[in-house]
Chain A
Amino acid sequence: MTAVAAISSSDTSARANIRFVLDGEIVELDDVDPTRTVLQFLREDLRRTGTKEGCAEGDCGACTVVLAELDGSGNGLSLKAVNSCIQFLPTLDGKELITVESLDLHGNGLHPVQQAMVDQHGSQCGFCTPGFVMSLFALYKSQSDPSRRDIDDALAGNLCRCTGYRPIVAAASAMYDIPAADDDWLRQPHGSGVSVTDRVERLRQIARDSSLELHHGKRAFFAPRTIDELAATLDAHPDATILAGGTDIGLWVTKLQRELETVVYVGEVKEFAAIRESDAHLEIGGAATFSDAIPAILEHYPLLDDMLSRFASPPIRNTATLGGNVANGSPIGDSMPALMAAGASIVIRSADGSRELALDDFYHDYQVNDLRPGEFIERIRLPLPGPDTRLHCYKLSKRFDQDISAVCAAYRLELEDGCVKSIRIACGGLAVTVKRATHCEQAMTGRPWTEDTIAAGMAAFARDFEPITDMRASAEYRLRSGQNLLRRLYLETRGDLTESVYLYGRHG
């Protein structure tokens, strides 16, 4: 054990290659193309074709694989399903990659998840099936008695066009009843006997304690390990692409065929992903994933549950970061309306130091923000709510799960003696950036919380936005539904509307 650690620490400083675990073996790759995807590597280099490409944009889940890494304690494993089609190969460094083939490696017998899918007739054409199997595997390892909603949520990133999902949901329940080997972490029925301890050891063996730097032709890839290193790297390469979850940048490569020369990956900067609470704020590191950030946010703002559970899909939430969503600054990004309404600010960092800016002031125009070359979002400061603060957020889209908003509207409301003490409204999908509805806010502030005030707010709302028409919704719908959401807010605060259509009849 100590010997392994010693070898690994003396080894890593010199390494300019990547190492990860696959089926218990350490895979070492040099001369890695930094923007080669994990899916390309599996299918084209290893000819390991169980993992499929359905869309190459992280929206269908046919490419789902599971990544395991050392958990916070360093003694256990945490795992997450990810979309291999938009995951760049160097991000595997230091992790274990588990694919559909891993679950029944030698064809000795199907894994309980796989067997349940067979028993319940969960596959028809079978093309989406490996992805479903991996999402189910992640569920299997993380929960022991999932509800229908848990299952829906776990599978929100996997599309099936054949079955209509009923038998897959059945498999998600039945998989726990199929015998598996206790000594095997994967829990194959004919286990390979690889325990969690063995796996942890393997990961420790390949752990790296200095930053990774790869060069491949004109392309370079840096994975610094501290915020200072990150700032220095960006200072040296101000034009670099900052890569966090890669859930958007991946598409630049797979869909737009863009060449990214220098990529700085922030996923290894542990302190950058930290989430902590100060007196008045929740401080969310820029590289914290949605999967980590959402529970922390919900602790203070439980009314965001509906909306955040519909944020993308588990594989996307597992890699996408709050900082990335904010920095990307899409007018239809789903985290910013709630953050902005809540009065969040961001701490911007560079080699020269840091500055704080209200999120209100961050966006200047369509995909233009206040970040200068060499700068990055170090953390997001979300104010903790006061006792009378309510933060609501509504999302409208054609489909409930894994869809991009037509409209996303958030409201921070404080009522006092039946009057609007303060209201902050921020909306996505209605302008070139996520934006406050200031006319609407003014029209209601200080007035009694009544139908009349809502009507005035709705009228003023029309002066705040001039939305566009596109394939997600028409300008008319965006404005009209945006106005109507204000009414929904009102009815909810009065207790006249207690349930969303999304969750109606779906408890448990």
Chain B
Amino acid sequence: MSDSAHASSQSFITKYIFSTDHKVIAKQYMFTGFFMALLGGFLAYVIRMQLTYPGESIPGYGAINFLQYNSVVTMHGTIMIFWVAMPLLLAALGNFLIPLMIGARDMAFPKLNMLSYWIFFLSVVVLIASFFVPGGAANGGWTTYPPLSSAKYSGGQWGVTLWLIAVALEFAAFLLGGINFVTTALNMRAPGMKLFDMPIMVWMQVVASVVFMLSVGPLIAGAIMLLLDRTVGTGFYDPAQGGDPMLFQHLFWFFGHPEVYVIMLPAFGALAEVLTVFSRKTIFGYKMIVYATIATGGMSFLVWAHHQFVAGIDPRLATPFSITTILISVPVAVTTFSFMATLWKGKIRFTTPMCFALGTISLFLLGGVTGIHHGAPASDMFLHDTYFVVAHFHYALIPQVFFAFFAAFYFWFPKMFGAMFNEVLGKLHFLGTFLFMNVTFLPMFVLGFMGHQRRIANPQMFDTLRNAQVEHLHFIATIGAFGLLLSQVPLLINLVVSLIKRKAPGNNPWQANTLEWTTSSPPGHGNFETQPTVYRGPYEYSVPGAAQDFIPQNVKQ
């Protein structure tokens, strides 16, 4: 914290590389996340090409064998969840916004924050290195279930071992980050800011961090056990030695399902901010959203075993887990409908962030509704491990990881970089992404109902899938994937052009209320020139009788 005094005397290295400033760390996380998204996107391209033109050489990759295909699928999932969703939604947004939104100079522990990023960076290095070891990268699926990930079946290669180390480092980074987030939000709030004066985004980041911290432990233990199985020869997951492979599935999903909500909550936080500002209305049901968020976080610990309906679970357990799985959609629906009610009769401004926010809601509904099919064991038996599942979780995750993140990215871009982006390019980015997202993943619902298993490298080897309809659907999905990747070009152009042009946005380009808009764009080291004091809630828009249609939180009256 004493670092802020020396802001002017910082060298390039302490200012941009080993920085303790939360805003710089947020950017480091964000650009690392972008880089990993490109890598994950490239792997998606390889998957699509192989499925559409099985066995043919893929431009930019070459011929792919089945083992390599397994690696590509595994790493695509791993990267997109752990190295894109987590750094973008949790680390980048949380780091940038929590101190600014609560009126703090920085995080509670700036050095811990820097350590968190560099551990994360190390995990990236280990993960990328795993592509180049003998035997290739991990190939047991992003869930790394044993025995697929055991020394025996993964060929005893290095891939899975490095995967486990990289994931462990990543978890350590986010544990440090999570402790920072929670203590900062609880203990560093500006004078006058009560818990229920915090913007929804801060609530979401805090609940997500707590859920992460309380769910990841058993998987850390489980990962150590898998590592010992692979290296020392123990048999925790080997029935021949008295172990149980199902154990890993339970440990993985005890973390893995709460993780879905760890990703979802910060995305919802972004929606709450963007939707209210561009509806010019107070948020519908602030406290209801907060309580629903806490309920979602709590219930997320009680749904994991729906992943084992097919692998084998006592029917007496399947029913309660089915009930909790369907029940958790209630608090999620409360939040979603509160967002929609916020729009009702608002003065809607269709800016780029607003378009992405509306896109998130509409796409996420489809992802949420198709979740019901998996919560009920009867339909899950049929749909498990098919492309229906693949379509379902892409409809659940892409709206959050990309649409909601882009809503946040464009919304806070002026604050982050002190430059305004180009609206036309932004809308082009939105339209392309929205259109091609559906072109890519809608056909997969149909493929799933046709019985197309996920993770198979060549559908033409199966009698039931060797027909023109399957080929057509794969072809459409591949066209969509190309479109989806190309639609990101306007984003890159926009980023480069607006950073060169540097059109100054002013402190508060969106006429928003929360504290980050009361300081300069970008905020200097230490964030606020004078300590803000909070007098009101974050969403007082269009208050009858007020001079303007917004009243910032630090305005007394």
Q: Do A and B come from one complex?
A: no
Q: Name A residues whose Cβ lies closer than 8 Å to a Cβ of B.
A: none
